[in-house]
A and B are shown apart, each in its own frame.
Chain A
């Protein structure tokens, strides 16, 4: 499968701690995106990182991309109960005009 794979599948942390989620993929990409999904709702775009970028920040979010290892990580610092959600990576492959391919997500629980 060309899907990105998130790791871990589930993560439970205390409020105030940092949360790190990883995404691995198999083929060359054009860009990689992270999305958040609250239970039963649609996905919300968080960050897009292009293949020639190594790191991007947005508020408490930090995304890194290592194309040599075909992996990305999403770090949420000083987590809050409201960060409880599923987080998905989505990859845009270099193969051509193909749509985003989503992984199966990491379920993050932040305990107050």
Chain B
């Protein structure tokens, strides 16, 4: 099976712009989680989707949003970008949405905001 695919791999944006990141989970996986990774804060949970419904949301401002499509692919959007949004954004999938299952991560999207 193909792994979790995230596109694009790298992005450079300017403050105030918006950005959309894409994640294709492993075939058959219905849960998709998003994490932000920075050197200072480590891995911070953004949100999780299961069967097109947001099940959990982390402590991030409303500028961060996401959605999941019927084929389980997911997108996250960040509007009005700030310098502090520069980070590695990681997507992870799991088969059944049980938090007892390991997460399968993509290689991330490296976002740089200038």
Residues of A near any B CB (own CB < 8 A):
3, 30-31, 33, 35, 40-45, 48, 50, 88, 92, 97-105
Q: Are the CB atoms of B108 and A41 closer together than 8 Å? A: yes
Q: Are the CB atoms of B105 and A99 closer together than 8 Å? A: no
Q: How large is the interface on B (under 10, 10 to 19, 20 to 34, 35 or more residues)?
A: 20 to 34
Residues of chain A within 8 A of B102, CB atoms compared: 33, 45, 48
A101-B48 Cα distance, complex, nearest whole Å: 13
Can you spell out 19 A-B residue pairs with CB atoms less than 8 angstroms apart?
A30-B99, A30-B100, A31-B100, A35-B105, A40-B107, A40-B108, A40-B110, A41-B107, A42-B108, A43-B105, A45-B102, A45-B104, A50-B100, A92-B100, A97-B55, A100-B33, A100-B103, A101-B45, A102-B42
Q: Which of A35, A100, A102, A103 has the most CB of B within 10 A?
A: A100
A104-B41 Cα distance, complex, nearest whole Å: 7
Q: How far is the CB of B21 from chain A (nearest CB, A)?
A: 13
Within 8 A of A (CB), among B74-114: 88, 90, 92, 99-100, 102-108, 110
15 other contacts beyond A40-B88, A97-B56, A99-B45, with CB at 8 A cut-off?
A: A3-B42, A33-B102, A40-B107, A40-B110, A41-B107, A41-B108, A42-B105, A45-B104, A97-B99, A99-B33, A100-B33, A100-B45, A100-B103, A101-B45, A103-B42
